[in-house]
Amino acid sequence: MHDCADGGLAVSLAEMSIAGGVGFTVDIGGAVGCFSESASRIVLGVDPKRVVEVLGRASASGIAAEEVGVTGGERLIATGAFSVALLDAETTWRDAIPNALGLS
């Protein structure tokens, strides 16, 4: 689980993928869908066998929820927006502060 408040959905998905070591493929409507920040949105990683159950429970609780994609592979793919190798994303994320400070 990850919130979308810092960087939006794309950043949340990327951070989850880096932590889990697995890529994703999503269809979230281009750049606006990828980077729109919202404090009231979260991303859940759900076993494919339980997606219908989780969506049903959310609906029964009055919570808007939708399936946006699948996990797997070695790339971070948002259809119509980007496709990045997981290893490249991890390296960029890990080295961002040292690079900004000229420490690398």
> Which pLDDT score, from 0 to 100, does residue 77 have?
96
- Torsion, Cα 89 25 55 48, to 10 degrees, reads -100
What are the residue ranges spanned by the domains of the chain? 2-100
| 96 or 37, greater pLDDT | 96
- Beta carbons of 39 and 9 less than 8 angstroms apart: no
User: By the 8 A CB rule, do 68 and 45 touch?
Assistant: no
CATH superfamily of 2-100: PurM-like C-terminal domain (3.90.650.10)
Share of the chain above pLDDT 90, in %: 64
Is 0.75 topped by the overall pTM? yes
Question: In the prediction, which pLDDT does 32 show?
Answer: 59
